[in-house]
Amino acid sequence: MPDTPCPACKGAGLTEHEEHSVETDQDGNQVPVVRRWTGACTTCHGSGLG
């Protein structure tokens, strides 16, 4: 198999990730929370190859 770039990250090995959850604030109210970060591509596991 040739070393072709990963189609998900285009060979960078990194992708943007986003996680959604619901947490309770200090008053006991449920609030939606979104966390975003850059991390290893979940398709190629950071290798950059597809």
Q: pLDDT by residue for the chain (50 residues), tens digit each?
A: 468 999 999 999 999 999 999 999 999 999 999 999 999 999 999 999 98
**Cα R_g (the chain), whole angstroms:** 16
Nearest Cα neighbor of 47 from 13, 22, 2 is 13
Q: Is the pTM of this model over 0.85?
A: no
In one letter, which amino acid is 45? Answer: H
Q: What is the pLDDT of residue 3?
A: 83
Beta-bridge partners for 37: 17
